[in-house]
Amino acid sequence: MSHKNPPIAEWRMLIDGELVPSSSGAVFENINPATDEVIGVTADGTREDFLRAIESSRRAFDTTSWSTDRAFRAKCIRQLQTALQRHAEEIRPLLSAEVGTPIWLTRDTLFDVPVARLSHYADLAENYQFDDELEDVDFRGVVSKRRIRYEPMGVVAGIIPWNGPWGSGLSKVGPALASGSVIILKPSPDAPWMGTIVGKLIAEETDIPAGVVNVVTAKDNYAGEVLTSDPRVDMVAFTGSAPNGSRVAEVGAKTLKRMLLELGGKSAWVVLESADVTEQAALAAKTICANAGQGCVARSRLLLPRARYEEGIAAAKAAMDAITVGDPQNPNNFMGPLNSKHHRERVLGYIERAKGDGNRLVRGGKIPEGLEVGCFIEPTLFADVKPDDTIAQEEIFGPVLAVIPYDSEEEALEIANNSIYGLSAQVAAATNEEAYEFAKKIRTGTVSINNGTWMAMDVPFGGFKQSGIGRQYGRQGFEEYLEIKVLGMPSGEKSGTLAWGEVEASDKVGKAA
């Protein structure tokens, strides 16, 4: 059976080292959100397919040398990186076509950067200290040597969202493989080709053994729940919304799996009165439109001092007016479509709710003229938003910026922390020191100060509160994929302290007397 997909866009799944169709033979369509056109199909996996993948992964981890051969793991990760770089110019337009990602972002955080990071994981496979010594300890007359071993977690289920599939997917594949674990990838049905392309390249251009990576695709988002419930899966690494993360944790709790959950955000961009309000408001407005606002760290709340409030709103509006919206494969367009019709209706619903709440619509809020085909929406700016309003509290995941005034820095801090989320934030002030003192008080996992960046491979990325559990990247992120084993053994020395046997003998003598 064949399908007319673009050459690199594999429609089959990778199970036990082979590219295979669904056991039912079914496929589902992949829709371009910029054109509403079918760009190809993907295998619609069944429960039986997921179970086959779990069995294959379990066998690969339990019965092969993958978990212990560090040099081989590093070699395989580098092979995958090389294959992805070799096919980058084929993959780039497919990423734009299935997600709606602007082509310029594929040369940045949405493809090139996550592929480049694979070399970091290859280095970890070779150089991480998986074995460490503790100081000797004297316990009841026996001096013991102690060692800590960091061992691979086992079978990992990597569940990937649609908005940044390559970043999210490779941030799970890389550390899982480097640790000696094996992984089952379950891509989103709204962006399935990240997983299937990885499966194709693994099968055809790497030495990664059968079962070390399995890829199962399915039209039903909940088909993958077998991964979170099956006791043979040791860990779930999930990126997605907080409600879906809660569901993953609930199902996985029955078998007490390790959970790594990178969830949503409602991040604040706080402009202190000493900052350049015009510059910061314009930058905030432009940033929310990157990838059409479909990013977990999007700073969707702009906090402005009331004394310079209208000045900031005018700057934000002017910046949004200049945003070019259209075909995401045209490098002259800054913003493409939302990912699906369903998601666009969801975002439009939030806009209508904001109007009903009395928020002032400054610009946008509808489908752009001339872009009725596809899933486009205008960059949208709301002013006079109250801290507890819906668009200030719920993750919209669209190009919608809510501007909130404040009268004092104390009030600004209270507003910034008034959220169930705590993923990221941005603070601007006249000096780094002033912004830093404010940033220390924000309850989020990351904070950018005066347009500085925190994102790099050494950063443990994650959030407070309902923005997730655990960390990605950095040493801490890699160690999420490791179990800790402590071993103690006698050194052959005695300290002279009364030992267990001597205590028992002494007690007996005392009782006999």
Looking at residue 496, its pLDDT comes to 60
Convert the pLDDT of each residue in 246-292 to its tens digit.
999 999 999 999 999 999 999 999 999 999 999 999 999 999 999 99
The tokens describing 190, both together, are: 């709204």
Looking at residue 500, its pLDDT comes to 54
Give yes or no: 76 in active site. Answer: no
β-strand pairing of 213-215 with 182-186: parallel
Give yes or no: 262 in active site. Answer: yes
Looking at residue 509, its pLDDT comes to 39
SS3 367: coil
Looking at residue 2, its pLDDT comes to 52
Contact yes or no for 320/381 (Cβ under 8 A): yes
Q: Which fold has domain 267-456?
A: Aldehyde Dehydrogenase; Chain A, domain 2 (3.40.309)
> Considering only 141-145, 267-271, 493-497, which range has the smallest mean pLDDT?
493-497
Convert the pLDDT of each residue in 181-196 to its tens digit.
999 999 999 999 999 9
Looking at residue 497, its pLDDT comes to 58
Catalytic residue chosen out of the listed positions 262, 395, 434, 480: 262
**131/262 Cα distance (integer angstroms):** 28
Is the pLDDT confidence value at 43 over 70? yes
Convert the pLDDT of each residue in 171-181 to its tens digit.
999 999 999 99
Is the pLDDT confidence value at 116 over 70? yes
pTM: 0.93
Question: Among residues of the chain, what percentage have pLDDT more than 70?
Answer: 96
Amino acid at 341: K
SS3 359: coil
CATH of 30-261+467-486, one of 3.40.605.10, 3.30.450.40, 3.20.20.70, 3.40.50.410: 3.40.605.10
Catalytic residue chosen out of the listed positions 10, 98, 225, 296: 296
β-strand pairing of 155-159 with 18-20: unpaired
Q: Domain limits of the chain?
A: 30-261+467-486, 267-456
Looking at residue 221, its pLDDT comes to 85
Looking at residue 201, its pLDDT comes to 98
The tokens describing 96, both together, are: 């734009």
DSSP state of 461: B
* Residue indicated by tokens 């049905």: 189
Is the pLDDT confidence value at 115 over 90? yes
**76/494 Cα distance (integer angstroms):** 47
SS3 334: coil
Convert the pLDDT of each residue in 342-400 to its tens digit.
999 999 999 999 999 999 999 999 999 999 999 999 999 999 999 999 999 999 999 99
Residue 78 CB burial class (10 angstroms; 0-12, 13-18, ≥19): middle
Is the pLDDT confidence value at 22 over 60? yes
